Structure 1
Amino acid sequence: MCFDISPAYLSCKKKQPFVSLGLLLLLVVFFSPPSAYSSSMELRENNSPLSLSEILKRAVYQNELMTKAMLGMQYQEKIEIQKLDYSGNPLKTDRLEFLVRPGEGFLLSADPRSGTLAMRKLSTQEIQKAQAANMVSDYLSLKNLLPRFALSYEGMGNWHGLSSYIIRFDPKPNQPYQSKIEKLINSIQGKLWISNEDFSVLYVEGRLPKPVDMAWFIAVVDKLDVHYHARKEKDICGHLPSFFDLEYRLKYLLGQTHVRQVISMKDFKLPLPIGGD
């Protein structure tokens, strides 16, 4: 269940390795450079209420800006992977902490059965090559994720003192998919908290309302809980990723895989100007 990117492998478009859900979320949500977004943000006129479509359009735009900006920042990242028993008690824990510099990304390969970890440092160009080789997909970017779900506006709320729009998402019946990962993603329900100030995604919670068959009756995901937090960093506009928590349980004929992956990010810094200390 490891995801390997070697120079030779990058040139091969036919191989389709299995990518763990935690790895896919890590790579796409935090490290994938976004494509250009054609619509511009317009100021709200006369403080009139925004439609759901307008809220989402602005959130997608802000998410694209944030993802692209992160490739030019330096920050500390910590990754923790726990192998759990059926009840969720830790059996084995691995921790990694490192500094991400501007233009870098880190690819985490994990085998949740053994709890082993491997890490590779990637440049922006290598990440783009991986995308071009169809080794990673951007279907978890906000602009591609939202159309997969039935969306509804639940009103204004408050998240840690910040005014926010609350958007509910539910699975669409008979939503098409091209992989087991997409099938699993399509089955999640939950809510988004979107900042009323800058339209950053502040918080996400998601879960599986019912088990999902991954290989007929042989393998079933019966638990998937996702939580994402953002935080406003000092001297940096917008809210940046702070905490990502994913727990999933895959049951199969001869056993199960129960894993929790926690990613925390902090100390974001803009690159120093030429000649800066």
Structure 2
Amino acid sequence: MRRFPWTIGFSVALLALLAPPRAAAQEKELTALEIFDRALAAFENQRLALREWQYHQTLTTHQFDGSGKVLARGTWQSIVRPGDPRPLEYTAERMEGKLSFFKAGESSEGAAAAAPAQKSKATEESKEKNQAESAVEAVRKYTLRDRYNWKRLPDESAAGESAYVLAFEPKPRQNTKSREERFFGLLAGRMWVSRNDFSILKAEAALQSPCQLFWIIARVTVFQFTYDLEPARSSPRFLRGCKATARTVVSFPFYAVRQRHWLIADKFEPRTPRGLALKNPKPSLSPRSEEY
């Protein structure tokens, strides 16, 4: 979404990557960077394979006070068509209370989709990008491969299969000219990559120190991200749902904005024309609990 496009995009960029399997003897020789490179190459294969498909995506955001009480909630449901450069097709939007970084009824993507009669819709959507596409751009534009020190850890299992485990941490003295580069330059985490097809099965990342992103007086002091891919239950393997969560705290001199975000992607189906999907007038504001 608009408030953290690079963070959400980073999670989407790591969804269900594909690559040809390697022989067991060769797999043991792969370095951390080689595994990462194969995962990125695999993502291109998946994008092509998904050109005839679409999936449904639900983003739910809650905002809390310092004691953990929910102050505001919002949810957005959309259809994602990988490879389509147009904006996501929103099928539902609902907000309760005032969510920071959102302008309900004015400039949020969900609000524009829920009110097609508004003249501002075309203008707002023209500024958006398909999330799957912008995620690929982010990986390359911000040189994520070369921005981190990569280390291969002992293999583990994830999503019901054997996985390589990679750890990454930011290199010192990075070139950070933009707010996105500053953000990525402070992330560290791990990812679990399938030994079978190099898809990302699981990932976690967090800011190592506060990051100034927006205004001089505002800093992101907390960002914690998790991602899990659904176990493969049928063929083709790339039609697998996933879930991601993010916890964020943006601090100002006299207050802090505390939010949690839940993203669910599932319900793969053959691609349909835009505008045919049924609208949901009152989607649930509670996060879905998907157990993989």
TM-score normalized by the length of structure 1: 0.71
1:74 aligns with 2:42: no
CA contact (8 A) 2:58 2:264 kept: yes
What percentage of aligned pairs have identical amino acids? Answer: 19
Q: 2:88 aligns with which of 106, 113, 117?
A: 106
How far apart in 2 are the matches of 1:145 and 1:244?
A: 19
1:204 is displaced (CA, Å) by 0.7
Structure 2 partner of 1:261: 261
Give the letter for the 2:234 counterpart. K
Q: Secondary structure at the match of 1:24?
A: helix
1:77 is displaced (CA, Å) by 1.6
Distance 1:202 1:257, change over 3 A: same
User: Which has more strand, going by share of residues?
Assistant: 1
Structure 2: gaps of 5 or more residues: 114-120, 273-292
1:24 aligns with 2:6: yes
Structure 1 partner of 2:206: 207
The Cα RMSD (Å) is 3.8
How far apart in 2 are the matches of 1:257 and 1:215?
A: 13
Structure 1: gaps of 5 or more residues: 4-18, 33-39, 273-277
Report how many aligned residue pairs link the two structures.
Answer: 241
1:8-48 superposed Cα distances (whole Å, 9 cap, x missing partner): xxxxxxxxxxx522x3344565489xxxxxxx857437455
Pairing of 1:1-277 with structure 2 (within 5 A) = 19-21=2-4, 23-27=5-9, 30=12, 43-44=22-23, 46-47=25-26, 49-52=28-31, 53-100=33-80, 103=84, 105-106=87-88, 112-113=99-100, 115=102, 116=104, 117-119=108-110, 138-140=137-139, 144-214=143-213, 218-231=217-230, 232=232, 234-238=234-238, 240=240, 242-271=242-271
How far apart in 2 are the matches of 1:190 and 1:196?
A: 19
How far apart in 2 are the matches of 1:225 and 1:271?
A: 33
More relative contact order, 1 or 2 (CA 8 Å, 6+ apart): 2
Between 173-182 and 61-70, report the one with greater CA deviation: 61-70
How far apart in 2 are the matches of 1:45 and 1:230?
A: 23
How far apart in 1 are the matches of 2:162 and 2:141?
A: 21
Give the letter for the 1:152 counterpart. K
CA contact (8 A) 1:75 1:99 kept: yes
Distance 1:28 1:138, change over 3 A: farther
